[in-house]
Amino acid sequence: MPRVAVVDADTPFRERLREGFGYPLRGGALATCAALALAHYVALLPAFVGLLGGALVWTATWRYAADCMRHTAHGYAEPPDVGVDGNDAAGWALTAIHLLAAASGVLAIVFFPALLWPVIVLFALILPAVDMTLAFDANLALALNPMHLARVMAGFGGAYLVPVAINLLLGALVVLASVATAALPRLLAVPLFAFAYTYLVILAFHLMGGMLQQRREHFGIEAQAEALANAAGQDADSRLAAQASELAAEDPQAALRLLAGRLQDRAAPPLLHETYRALLRRQGLREGLLVHGQIWIAALVAGNETAKALRLVQECSELDPAFLPDDPGNAATLAELAARQGMNRMAARLCRGFVKAWPRDARSPQCALLGARLLGGPLGQPAEALVLLGRMGTLPADHPLRSDFEALAAQLRQPAGAA
């Protein structure tokens, strides 16, 4: 059974907010944002066809947002796949209620300007409760029942102002996005605006889902993700980490052996890796930390968690300045990532280590060029940059990077201050 990524219900909202910005850009959510952004081109079709197509696209948007809210409320860390747990009725109901909110605002602007702000405040206050109700029950009559909305609001207490603020911010960002794209050609503005709006809707519903998870007992929400994780035996990992920590007080080596076998599996959770490294540090086992670093870096890169892998490279480099991931593909990937993130010294060191370890690898010229640019530029070491380029010798005449090598070498040989 595939590993189920679970979020603890007690995760602080500040942490959820920080992590939440990346939620719409992962897995099924990213695919949905991209697909719906392109689907909004249907609004450019003539008259009725464009209106109907636009309504269908918005329905799909709200339906997926509702999926994300339920998914998060049930404890899942990752976005749902498209169509896995969709509810068409929820999509239509959410579309209707948000069209009603927009229409009310337009009517207030045109006919009753003095009522505009009361209308905005009213919908800002009730929309989170309405959205939550429709996402779970798809019942428009229930979602418009004042008694039911009051019960939902009471379930959050003062924290209910958080989703209210999220909705107000969402509205402001949508206005800003529409203004920013107004100056662009319509064929470009349509998908850009649609992607931004879809991203913001998914983010808002994901954060509201997290608040529902924190109060799941009050709202009668089952912890589906936790149940699946338990069924897959993932809770055994937590028990194993606790057992190893207790055993370490009496027999540190036995505690390490207890964890070692499980860590060979790339699906091992961070908790076990962190427990293992803590035990190694406690015993001062520098070589063990470096060996484990190689294993965990490979697992992190394979899981597309390159930022964490880069932090681990930094940690291992502090133990051994010559440390280099033992897989050339991983080393090249992390060198490029370090350069993009402004970690110039680490990127240059990885590039130099790559060229020294794998001079005949097809990626060596690219690594040498990247390292030389960093050494000769922000790091101010032109002589070292020339040495790194020289390690590659003379590239074949038909090599795609030969002209870049020659141009950079000529630039580096210029006297300081020369044009």
**So what's the pLDDT on residue 376?**
92
Helix (H, G, I), strand (E, B) or coil at 6: strand
**So what's the pLDDT on residue 85?**
57
- Using one digit for the tens of pLDDT, what is the confidence trace for 329-346? 999 999 999 999 999 999
Helix intervals (H) in 215-323: 216-219, 224-231, 235-248, 252-263, 270-282, 286-302, 306-319
Average predicted confidence (pLDDT) for the chain = 84
Is the model more confident about 363 or about 165? 363
Domain spans, the chain: 13-229, 234-304, 324-419
- Using one digit for the tens of pLDDT, what is the confidence trace for 235-278? 667 777 878 888 888 888 888 888 887 887 667 788 888 899 99
Alpha carbon distance 315, 263 (integer Å): 19
For residue 346, the 8-state DSSP code is: H
Q: What sign does the CA torsion over 186, 190, 196, 197 have?
A: positive
Residues 6+ apart with CB under 8 A from 6: 75, 76, 77, 225, 226, 229, 234
- Using one digit for the tens of pLDDT, what is the confidence trace for 366-410? 999 999 999 999 999 999 999 999 999 888 989 999 999 999 999
Average pLDDT over residues 348-377: 94
Average pLDDT over residues 64-69: 86
Q: For residue 362, what pLDDT band results from cuts at 50, 70 and 90? A: very high
Q: Which residue has the tokens 């480099």?
A: 317
Check pLDDT > 70 for residue 417: no
**So what's the pLDDT on residue 231?**
63
Check pLDDT > 50 for residue 100: yes
Interhelix angle 364-376/328-340, nearest 10 degrees? 30
Alpha carbon distance 371, 365 (integer Å): 10
Average pLDDT over residues 303-323: 91
Alpha carbon distance 343, 200 (integer Å): 30
Paired tokens of 128: 């989170």
Check pLDDT > 50 for residue 419: no
Check pLDDT > 50 for residue 205: yes
Alpha carbon distance 129, 310 (integer Å): 41
**So what's the pLDDT on residue 345?**
93
Is the model more confident about 374 or about 193? 374
Check pLDDT > 80 for residue 211: yes
Average pLDDT over residues 183-196: 82
Quick check: pTM over 0.85?
no
Alpha carbon distance 195, 38 (integer Å): 8
Average pLDDT over residues 197-220: 85
Q: For residue 122, what pLDDT band results from cuts at 50, 70 and 90? A: confident
Check pLDDT > 50 for residue 45: yes
Q: What's the CATH code, domain 324-419?
A: 1.25.40.10
**So what's the pLDDT on residue 334?**
95
Secondary structure tally for the chain: helices H, strands E: 21, 0
Q: Which of 49-53, 170-174, 383-387 has the lowest mean pLDDT?
A: 170-174
